[in-house]
């Protein structure tokens, strides 16, 4: 499989000097190479997506039609998804093999990212392609919705964006239909019907959203508390 740098050069989206500059920025700022190429070196995002598709047999995900599995979001922290610019889409089990996570990424050629996600999630990873801007937007929306959505019994899930789709789907000229990523539902006193675990999780998400704590710090505290309970038990 060709690397992202080779694909960009072959498509005449960047030359060796631009790739070198992007690599230095990637290492210095600790961001994926695809981020440095697009954000710092002005490589055209749509052209890069097209070039990757021509070189690699990988599905392209339309953000407007993306459906997320809560189990997939549960398998990778929001901080990690933000840092790696990836979005867990679904988890499946094929026969007696390990769980497989379908992962949306702007750079399916990056073996380091795939290896880290496999290590953290305990799943085998299958990559799908999604534009960088769409991933960044959907990570914020999807994780927020995942931990704050509380719905009364019998109420249908609604897409707050309606038939308009996400900003990302408009930007990339992709089709726009209902049933996109989960959206946050206003509380309107539904917390009265929620159990303690749901209310606590909503409070934690508020702290995460306000950057009071990070997802990794939260998970570490949960691990410490569980260990303390085991020791006391």
Q: How far is CA 145 from CA 12, 60, 68, 204, in A?
A: 39, 23, 11, 13
User: What CATH code is carried by the domain that includes residue 199?
Assistant: 3.30.300.160
Residue 175 lies in a domain: yes
Q: How much is the pLDDT for 168?
A: 52
123 and 200 both lie in a single domain = yes
Place of tokens 């769409």: 134
Residue 72 lies in a domain: yes
77 and 180 both lie in a single domain = yes
Instruction: Count up the domains in the chain and report the number.
Output: 2
51 and 67 both lie in a single domain = no
Residue 164 lies in a domain: yes
Mean pLDDT across the chain, nearest whole number?
A: 80
Q: Is the pLDDT confidence value at 54 over 80?
A: yes
Strand partners, 88: 103
- What confidence tier does 45 reach under pLDDT thresholds 50, 70, 90? very high
99 and 205 both lie in a single domain = yes
Q: Which of 94-103, 128-137, 178-187 has the lowest mean pLDDT?
A: 178-187
Q: What are the pLDDT digits (tens) for 173-210?
A: 444 334 444 333 333 344 455 566 666 777 777 777 77
Residue 233 lies in a domain: no
CB 92 within 8 A of CB 79: no
Closest listed residue to residue 89, CA positions, set 155, 138, 55, 152: 138
92 and 133 both lie in a single domain = yes
CB 106 within 8 A of CB 85: yes
Domain range enclosing 127: 63-228
Q: How much is the pLDDT for 59?
A: 94
Helix (H), strand (E), coil (C) string for the chain: CCCHHHHHHHCCCCCHHHHHHHHHHHHHHCCCHHHHHHHHCCCCHHHHHHHHHHHCCCCECCHHHCCCCHHHHHCCCHHHHHHHCEEEEEEEECCCCCEEEEEEECCCCCHHHHHHHHHHHCCEEEEEECCHHHHHHHHHHHHHHHHHCCCCCCCCCCCCCHHHCCHHHHHCCCCCCCCCCCCCCCCCCHHHHCCHHHHHHHHHHHHHHCCCCCHHHHHHHHHHHHHHHHHHC
81 and 21 both lie in a single domain = no
87 and 117 both lie in a single domain = yes
Residue 214 lies in a domain: yes
Q: What are the pLDDT digits (tens) for 209-224?
A: 777 778 777 777 777 7
Confirm whether pTM is higher than 0.85.
no
33 and 108 both lie in a single domain = no
Q: How much is the pLDDT for 193?
A: 53
């Amino acid at each position: 499989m060709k690397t992202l740098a080779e694909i960009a050069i072959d498509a005449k989206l960047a030359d060796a000097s631009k790739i070198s500059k992007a690599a230095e920025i990637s290492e210095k700022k600790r961001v994926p190479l695809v981020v440095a190429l697009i954000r710092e070196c002005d490589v055209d995002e749509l052209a890069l997506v097209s070039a990757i598709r021509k070189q690699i047999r990988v599905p392209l995900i339309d953000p407007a039609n993306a459906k997320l599995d809560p189990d997939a979001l549960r398998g990778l922290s929001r901080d990690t998804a933000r840092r790696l610019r990836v979005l867990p889409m679904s988890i499946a089990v094929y026969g007696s093999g390990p769980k497989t996570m379908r992962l949306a990424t702007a750079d399916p050629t990056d073996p380091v990212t795939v290896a880290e996600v496999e290590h953290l999630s305990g799943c085998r990873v299958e990559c799908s392609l999604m534009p960088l801007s769409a991933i960044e937007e959907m990570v914020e929306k999807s994780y927020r919705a995942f931990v704050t959505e509380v719905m009364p019994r019998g109420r249908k899930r609604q897409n707050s964006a309606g038939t308009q789709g996400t900003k990302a789907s408009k930007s990339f000229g992709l089709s726009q239909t209902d049933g996109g990523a989960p959206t946050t539902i206003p509380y309107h006193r539904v917390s009265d019907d929620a159990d303690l675990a749901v209310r606590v999780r909503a409070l934690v998400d508020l702290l995460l959203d306000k950057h009071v704590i990070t997802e990794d710090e939260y998970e570490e505290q949960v691990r410490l508390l569980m260990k303390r309970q085991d020791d006391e038990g």
